[in-house]
Structure 1
């Protein structure tokens, strides 16, 4: 992956660069699934956190849970959830926009004072497309897309996952895994808005692969 390709993964549609990793251990909670799917989703988040060298724990001392994953059928269901409007400002107009766009997923992040990720909310509307995706693949995709703050256009043209011939599920693309591990290198800042940060990521990837 070239420095330019790395930079593109964190350059937003407005032209700004922003890369952020989690600043605290991840404590996920999942709503709207049965126990079997719950195990799959939590397992995917744990696997990605371990790959990044980041910790996942049972409870956040401040927030209780800092990564909330919601599975549902219609966006309007979010308006019926107690206290969600307090956690997600302007929830009603957001839901209206997502309904109008016929979106099937959305992620919201909260940040520490230094810009590191403090909390994340993952919303998955199980339309016909997402319902056809194997649970393992869907969970892995969401785990990868919440382990870092990626550009809003990072995976529009190419998924972070790759399908293996003869297998139903998918695996993380090798170069994306390398990029995640580089971003979690302790020598790098937890959040960066200077595009030169991509050069440092490239250097860490080279060191790790040598």
Structure 2
């Protein structure tokens, strides 16, 4: 992956470069799934965090949990989740917009004073399309897209995942390498200058 490709993964449609990684251990909770799917989600989190060299934990000392994943059938269900509007103050108008757009997923990040990811909320409306996606693929895709503040256009043309012979779905090697470079301790937790992509490229080069 060259510098231009790296830059594109963190350049938003507005033209702004915006990068962030988690600045604390991830304390996850998943709502709306059975034990089997919960295990798959946990496995995907463990695998990606291990690859990135980032920590998972049972409890965040400040927030309790900081990575919430909601599975549901209709956006209206979010209006009835107790206290969710306290975590997401603009919940009602957001749900209205998602219903109007017929969206099946949405992701919200919160950041700390240093610009690092402090919390992430993932909403998955299990419509016909998402319901047809294998649980392992869906879990891995959502975890990967939640590990960094990617561009809003980063994966519109190409998934971060790939099929390998035999039908298994895996993380594309270049995306895995980019995540590892982003979590290198010498790299900043957040960046708004495109020169950051040059540093990422250098870390990738050192790893090869």
TM-score (norm: length of structure 2):
0.99
* Structure 2 segments unaligned to the other structure (5+ residues): none
Structure 1 residue 163 displacement after superposition: 0.9
Within 5 A, what are the aligned runs for 1:101-112? 101-112=101-112
Structure 1 residue 75 displacement after superposition: 0.5
Within 5 A, what are the aligned runs for 1:60-79? 60-79=60-79
Q: 1:193 and 2:192 equivalent?
A: yes
1:5 match: 5
Q: Distance in 2 between matches of 1:181 and 1:11?
A: 19
1:173 match: 172
Q: 1:205 and 2:207 equivalent?
A: no
1:143 match: 143
1:158 match: 158
2:118 match: 118
Moved over 3 A (4+): none
Matched residue pairs, number? 208
RMSD of the alignment, in Å? 0.6
SS in 1 for 2:29: strand
Within 5 A, what are the aligned runs for 1:44-63? 44-63=44-63
Q: Distance in 2 between matches of 1:77 and 1:161?
A: 29
1:150-189 per-residue CA deviation (whole Å, 9 max, x = no partner) reads: 000000000000011322x410000000000000011110
Q: Distance in 2 between matches of 1:123 and 1:69?
A: 6
Q: Distance in 2 between matches of 1:170 and 1:149?
A: 22
Q: Distance in 1 between matches of 2:14 and 2:39?
A: 37
TM-score (norm: length of structure 1):
0.98
